[in-house]
Structure 1
Amino acid sequence: MSANVTVRGSDDVTASETAAVETAGAGGAVGAVARDRTVAVVGTGTMGQGIAQVALVAGHPVRLYDSAPGRAGEAVAALTARLDRLVEKGRLDAGAREAAVGRLHAAAELDELADAALVVEAVVERLDVKQQLFADLEKVVGDDTVLATNTSSLSVTAIAGGLRRPGRFVGLHFFNPAPLLPLVEVVSGFATDADVATRAYETVKGWGKTPVRCADTPGFIVNRVARPFYAEALRVFEEGAADPATIDAALRECGGFRMGPFELTDLIGQDVNEAVTRSVWESFHQDPKFTPSLAQRRLVESGRLGRKSGHGWYTYADGAERPEPHTAPPAPAPAKIVVRGDLGPAEPLVALFEEAGIEVRRKKGDGGFIKLPGGGELNLADGESSYEYHEEEIVYFDLALDYARASRIVLSTREGTAPETLAEAVGLFQALGKQVSVIGDVPGMIVARTVAMLVDVAADAVGRGVATAEDVDTAMRLGVNYPVGPLEWAAKVGYRRTAGLLRGLHERYPTGRYAPSVALMRRSYAEDAEDSR
Structure 2
Amino acid sequence: MSSSNTIHQIGVVGGGAMGRGIVQLLAQAGHQVYCFDAFEGAAAGAVEFVIGKIRRGVEKGSLSAAEFERICSSIHVCAALSDLAGCSIVIEAIVEDLEAKRQLFRALESVVADTAILASNTSSLTVAEIAAACARAQRVAGLHFFNPVPLMKVAEVVAAVRTSDATVQTLHALIDGAGHRAVITADQPGFLVNHAGRGLYTEGLRVVEEQVASPADVDNLLRDAAGFRMGPFELLDLTGLDVSSRVMTSIYEQFQHEPRFRPSSLVPPRVAAGLYGRKTGEGWYVYDGDRKQTGSPRLIPALSAGMTVWIDPQATGAGALAALASAAGVRCVDEPARADLLIVQPWGTDATTTAIERGLDASRCVALDPLPPFERHRTLMLTASTTGTARDAALALLASDGTPVTVINDSPGFVVQRVLATIVNIAANIAQRGIASVEDLEDAVMLGLGYPYGPLSWGDRIGGERVLAVLRQMQAATGDPRYRPSAWLVRRVGLGISLLTPEAKR
* TM-score, length-scaled by structure 2: 0.89
- In 2, are the aligned partners of 1:256 and 1:401 still within 8 Å (CA)? no
Give the drift of 1:85.
Answer: 2.8
Are 2:291 and 1:322 aligned?
Answer: no
- Higher mean alpha-carbon deviation, 419-428 vs 518-527, is at 419-428
Are 2:352 and 1:386 aligned?
Answer: yes
- Higher mean alpha-carbon deviation, 118-127 vs 415-424, is at 415-424
Q: Secondary structure at the match of 1:294?
A: coil
- Higher mean alpha-carbon deviation, 254-263 vs 233-242, is at 233-242
Q: Secondary structure at the match of 2:229?
A: coil
* Equivalent of 2:4 in 29, 32, 42: 29
- In 1, are the aligned partners of 2:325 and 2:331 still within 8 Å (CA)? no
Q: Which residue of 1 aligns with 2:13?
A: 42
Give the drift of 1:147.
Answer: 1.6
1:48-447 maps to which residues of 2 (within 5 A)? Answer: 48-317=19-288, 321-324=293-296, 326=298, 328-331=300-303, 340-341=313-314, 343=316, 350=319, 354=323, 373-374=339-340, 376-386=342-352, 389-390=355-356, 391-392=359-360, 393=362, 394-398=365-369, 400-404=371-375, 406=376, 408-419=377-388, 421-423=390-392, 425-447=394-416
Are 2:494 and 1:525 aligned?
Answer: yes
- In 2, are the aligned partners of 1:246 and 1:326 still within 8 Å (CA)? no
Q: Secondary structure at the match of 1:513?
A: helix
Give the drift of 1:66.
Answer: 0.9
* Equivalent of 1:492 in 441, 461, 464: 461
194 and 322 in structure 1: CA distance in 2 versus 1, 3 angstrom threshold: same
Letter of the 1:323 partner, please give it: G
Give the drift of 1:309.
Answer: 0.7
Higher relative contact order (CA 8 A, sep 6+): 1
CA distance in 2: counterparts of 1:316 and 1:127, whole angstroms: 35
- In 1, are the aligned partners of 2:310 and 2:343 still within 8 Å (CA)? no
Structure 1, unaligned runs of 5 or more: 1-23, 364-369
- Provide the identity percentage: 36
* Equivalent of 1:472 in 430, 437, 441: 441
Letter of the 2:427 partner, please give it: A
- Taking only aligned residues, the RMSD between alpha carbons, in angstroms, comes to 2.9
Give the drift of 1:474.
Answer: 1.2
| TM-superposition CA deviations, 1:183-223 (whole Å, max 9, x none) | 11111111111222122111111101112121111111111
- Higher mean alpha-carbon deviation, 374-383 vs 274-283, is at 374-383
| TM-superposition CA deviations, 1:52-89 (whole Å, max 9, x none) | 00001111111001111221122122222222233223
437 and 525 in structure 1: CA distance in 2 versus 1, 3 angstrom threshold: same
Letter of the 2:243 partner, please give it: V
- In 1, are the aligned partners of 2:36 and 2:80 still within 8 Å (CA)? yes
- In 2, are the aligned partners of 1:246 and 1:437 still within 8 Å (CA)? yes
- In 2, are the aligned partners of 1:387 and 1:413 still within 8 Å (CA)? no
Give the drift of 1:329.
Answer: 3.4
CA distance in 2: counterparts of 1:398 and 1:182, whole angstroms: 34
Structure 2, unaligned runs of 5 or more: 500-506
| TM-superposition CA deviations, 1:229-284 (whole Å, max 9, x none) | 11112112122222111111111111111111111110111111111111110101
CA distance in 1: counterparts of 2:145 and 2:182, whole angstroms: 9
Letter of the 2:424 partner, please give it: V
| TM-superposition CA deviations, 1:87-119 (whole Å, max 9, x none) | 223232211111111111111111111111211
- In 1, are the aligned partners of 2:207 and 2:213 still within 8 Å (CA)? yes
467 and 342 in structure 1: CA distance in 2 versus 1, 3 angstrom threshold: farther
Q: How many aligned residue pairs are there?
A: 489
CA distance in 2: counterparts of 1:380 and 1:425, whole angstroms: 16
285 and 360 in structure 1: CA distance in 2 versus 1, 3 angstrom threshold: farther
118 and 150 in structure 1: CA distance in 2 versus 1, 3 angstrom threshold: same
* TM-score, length-scaled by structure 1: 0.85
